């Protein structure tokens, strides 16, 4: 009871701080923010990426959207466990294959079977290269195969990598946008490579597609 | 502090409330006539702007009634928001990270602390002397010279515009004008009302009569007719506000003319920066207007000069 209460309070505080630093604006470019089961897949350049998606979703979507996160990091302390389980309702997966541990795909499939949505970073690790987007891992393809009813929504997180570049501790306040693109559907007999490339291209297409007309 | 609220402030706030009420009624009528389905962009934008005006007027009104601390906090927050928009556009690299952290979390609060203390000797030179010399050193220490001159210049301009200039609005409270003690918030009200009405009236005159663009490459919506009509009406209104200032009618009108011209210049300069960076608005937080800088651009240019002119001719410190 008290734990739940503290979790709601923490969630509000996280949203307030994140809003002060980034103003986190959602841009609904390819879909309306209506209820529905989805896999939101996004570029991964900063630790705060999933927070921005989580907070820009409207409350009723946010309640069922669970970020997929690395178990090794989030199980390492009591505070992190509280944040990932109670505040963000995350789905923890083993990033290094562990014969005794749970298979990451089983864990994610279980969440989808339960009707939840996922927030996923198909690049696997944070992108510290000069490329805007690394190659995708195949997990998203297998999830799409197993759950054809779930919409795959590309989400481009803009500018957050400049707020807190790798190795820095103090965040710089900068305007960030979270751009939600048009959902993808796995085509009949589409190969893994073709689908992963298509998904990656659909995400990359959002990165430069939000410039406004200038007239003032 | 309650006892020090000058009577003129209540009169002015009532007038602003009346003006916004009229604007809301007109906006509502235009909506019923031209945009019943909410599909006329000009009318919808006008109504958004009016709603945002209400919020801004209420916040500023509360701050002015609340006294020095409230005014300083409000403008510190406006500076923070404007800086966040400006720094989002600069070409800073990771080697500037510490310089930027200092800008947000040290330079800005310290500048507003000096303003709050009414420490003229420091708030007037802290940024142009100390910050401008220290920040390039912090950036240079990372050993990255790629685009160095552009990087440090952009950060300096961001500080100049968003912090130094904006902080001269609350700095008006530090002036000591004989016979005007305890009423300095009215100088802030005078500046803000004239500069914002000048913006609005330039927009209105431009929409009614405008046909000759004044700076087509920078800002297609600004016209010669809007400029002349807006500046002339703002000058008259400024003269009409002389009763709440230490100025005579002619002095108030001359200062209002200066404020309106500088405000126009500020809008032009900020438009040029937006064009350079290929954006339409500085941000999205003020519905219908864009970002904080979109609303502050004219204040930014007029505040420091209004401050120094009044200080030179009227103040005893």
pLDDT digits 0-9 by tens, A143-178: 999 998 899 999 999 888 888 887 888 999 999 999
Instruction: Write down the pLDDT at residue B94.
Output: 83
Contact A175 B219 (CB under 8 A): no
Contact A23 B84 (CB under 8 A): yes
Nearest to B79 by CA among B14, B144, B164: B164
In chain B, which ranges are continuous DSSP H helix? 7-34, 41-66, 68-89, 97-102, 108-117, 120-123, 132-140, 148-159, 166-171, 185-209, 224-240, 249-277, 292-313
Chain B CB within 8 Å of residue A210 CB: no
Chain A CB within 8 Å of residue B104 CB: yes
Question: Which secondary-structure segment (H or E) carries A40?
Answer: strand A38-42
- Same-domain status, B205 and B132: yes
Contact B187, B168 (CB under 8 A): no
CA distance B317 to chain A (A): 37
Instruction: Write down the pLDDT at residue A101.
Output: 74
- Residue A212 — pLDDT band, cuts 50, 70, 90? very low
- Cα–Cα distance list, B256 to A144, B39, B306 (Å): 65, 38, 9
Domain extents in chain A: 2-207
- Residue A214 — pLDDT band, cuts 50, 70, 90? very low
- Same-domain status, B44 and B131: no
Among residues B30, B45, B66, the one where a domain terminates is B66
Instruction: Write down the pLDDT at residue A215.
Output: 35
Question: Which secondary-structure segment (H or E) carries B266?
Answer: helix B249-277
Among residues B43, B66, B89, the one where a domain terminates is B66
Residues of chain A neighbouring B285 (CB-CB closer than 8 A)? 23
Instruction: Write down the pLDDT at residue A216.
Output: 36
Instruction: Write down the pLDDT at residue B197.
Output: 93
Distance CA A78, CA A101 (A): 20
CA distance A24 to chain B (A): 10
B87 is written with which tokens?
């720094």
Contact B285 A216 (CB under 8 A): no
- Same-domain status, B302 and B186: yes
- Same-domain status, B157 and B261: yes
Residues of chain B neighbouring A130 (CB-CB closer than 8 A)? none
Contact A37, A43 (CB under 8 A): no
Instruction: Write down the pLDDT at residue A98.
Output: 73
| Spacing of C-alpha A46 from chain mean position | 11
Among residues B51, B66, B81, the one where a domain terminates is B66
Nearest to A172 among B104, B271, B274 (CB): B104
Nearest to A165 among B97, B281, B285 (CB): B97
Contact B80 A173 (CB under 8 A): yes
Terminal alpha carbon distance of chain B: 22
A7-11, A209-213, B47-51, B60-64: least confidently modelled range: A209-213
Chain A CB within 8 Å of residue B101 CB: yes
- Same-domain status, B34 and B108: no
Residues of chain A neighbouring B104 (CB-CB closer than 8 A)? 172-173
Residues in contact with B230: Cβ distance below 8 Å, sequence separation at least 6, in sequence order: B198, B199, B200, B201, B202, B203, B204, B205, B206, B260, B264
- Same-domain status, B91 and B239: yes
Using CA atoms in the order B303, B305, B309, B314, what is the torsion angle rounded to 10 degrees?
20
Contact B85 A215 (CB under 8 A): no
Chain A CB within 8 Å of residue B278 CB: yes
Nearest to A187 by CA among A135, A157, A152: A152
Contact B279 A165 (CB under 8 A): no
pLDDT at A213 over 50: no
Nearest to B317 by CA among B187, B192, B173, B130: B173
Instruction: Write down the pLDDT at residue B102.
Output: 95
Nearest to B185 by CA among B1, B6, B25, B3: B6
The position carrying tokens 């601390």 is B69
Contact A175 B88 (CB under 8 A): yes
Instruction: Write down the pLDDT at residue B1.
Output: 44
- Same-domain status, B217 and B144: yes
Contact B84 A170 (CB under 8 A): no
DSSP B51: H
ipTM for the whole complex = 0.81
- Of chain B, the percentage scoring pLDDT greater than 90 comes to 63
- Same-domain status, B50 and B150: no
- Same-domain status, B80 and B43: no
Nearest to A173 among B84, B275, B290 (CB): B84
Distance CA B89, CA B103 (A): 15
Chain A CB within 8 Å of residue B84 CB: yes
Domain that holds residue B46: 1-66
Chain A CB within 8 Å of residue B80 CB: yes
Query: pLDDT averaged over consecutive 10-residue blocks of chain B (317 residues)?
Result: 72 92 92 82 86 91 91 96 92 88 96 96 96 94 90 94 96 93 92 94 87 81 89 96 94 96 93 86 80 90 96 89
- Same-domain status, B48 and B115: no
Beta bridge partners of A194: none
The order of strands in the sheet holding A25-28 is: A25-28, A177-180, A151-158, A38-42, A117-120, A65-70, A91-93
- Same-domain status, B190 and B299: yes
pLDDT digits (tens, 9 = 90+) for B250-272: 999 999 999 999 999 999 999 89
Instruction: Write down the pLDDT at residue A104.
Output: 87
- Of chain A, the percentage scoring pLDDT greater than 70 comes to 96
Instruction: Write down the pLDDT at residue B95.
Output: 85
Beta bridge partners of A163: none
B-facing residues of A in 166-205 (CB < 8 A) are 168, 170, 172-175
- Same-domain status, B27 and B145: no
Contact A36, A112 (CB under 8 A): no
Instruction: Write down the pLDDT at residue A208.
Output: 66
pLDDT at A210 over 70: no
Structural domains in chain B (count)? 2
Contact B59, B75 (CB under 8 A): no
Spell out the CATH class of A2-207.
alpha beta
pLDDT digits (tens, 9 = 90+) for A49-60: 999 999 999 988
């Amino acid at each position: 009871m008290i734990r739940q209460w503290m979790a709601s309070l923490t969630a509000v505080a996280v949203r307030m701080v994140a809003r002060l630093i980034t103003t986190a604006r959602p841009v609904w470019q390819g879909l309306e923010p209506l209820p529905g089961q989805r896999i939101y897949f996004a570029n991964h350049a900063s630790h705060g990426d999933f927070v921005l998606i989580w907070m820009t979703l409207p409350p009723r979507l946010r309640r069922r959207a669970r970020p997929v996160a690395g178990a090794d990091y989030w199980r390492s302390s009591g505070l992190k466990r509280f944040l990932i389980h109670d505040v963000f309702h995350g789905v923890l997966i083993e990033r290094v294959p562990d014969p005794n541990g749970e298979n990451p795909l089983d864990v994610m499939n279980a969440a989808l079977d339960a009707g939840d949505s996922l927030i996923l970073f198909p690049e696997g690790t944070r992108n510290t290269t000069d490329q805007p987007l690394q190659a995708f891992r195949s997990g998203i393809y297998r999830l799409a195969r197993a759950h054809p009813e779930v919409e795959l929504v590309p989400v481009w997180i803009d500018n957050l990598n400049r707020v807190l570049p790798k190795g820095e501790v103090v965040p710089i306040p900068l305007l960030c946008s979270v751009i939600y693109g048009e959902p993808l559907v796995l085509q009949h007999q589409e190969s893994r490579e073709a689908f992963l490339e298509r998904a990656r291209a659909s995400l990359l297409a959002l990165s430069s597609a939000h410039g406004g007309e200038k007239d003032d | 502090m309650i006892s020090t609220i000058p009577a003129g402030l209540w009169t002015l706030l009532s007038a602003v409330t009346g003006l916004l009420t009229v604007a809301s009624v007109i906006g509502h009528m235009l909506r019923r006539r031209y945009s019943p389905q909410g599909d006329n962009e000009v009318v919808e934008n006008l109504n958004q702007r009016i709603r945002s005006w209400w919020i801004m007027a209420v916040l500023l009104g509360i701050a002015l009634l609340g006294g020095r601390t409230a005014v300083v906090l409000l403008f510190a927050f406006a500076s923070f928001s404007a800086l966040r928009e400006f720094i989002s556009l600069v070409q800073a690299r990771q080697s500037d990270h510490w310089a930027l952290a200092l800008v947000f979390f040290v330079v800005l609060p310290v500048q507003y602390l000096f303003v709050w203390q009414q420490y003229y000797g420091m708030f007037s030179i802290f940024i142009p002397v100390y910050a401008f010399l220290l920040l390039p050193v912090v950036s240079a220490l990372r050993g990255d010279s790629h685009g160095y001159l552009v990087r440090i210049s952009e950060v300096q301009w961001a500080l100049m515009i968003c912090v130094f200039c904006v902080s001269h609005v609350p700095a008006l409270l530090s002036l000591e004008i004989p016979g005007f003690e305890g009423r300095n918030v009215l100088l802030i009200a005078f500046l803000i009302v004239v500069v914002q009405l000048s913006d609005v009236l330039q927009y209105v005159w431009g929409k009614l009569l405008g046909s000759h663009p004044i700076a087509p490459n920078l800002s297609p919506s600004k016209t010669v007719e809007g400029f002349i009509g807006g500046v002339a009406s703002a000058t008259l209104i400024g003269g009409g506000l002389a009763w709440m200032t230490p100025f005579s009618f002619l002095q108030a009108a001359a200062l209002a003319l200066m404020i309106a011209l500088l405000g126009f210049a500020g809008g032009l300069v900020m438009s040029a920066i937006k064009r350079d960076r290929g954006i339409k608005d500085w941000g999205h937080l003020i519905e219908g207007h864009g970002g904080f800088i979109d609303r502050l651009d004219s204040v930014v240019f007029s505040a420091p000069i209004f401050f120094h002119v009044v200080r030179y001719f009227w103040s005893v410190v």
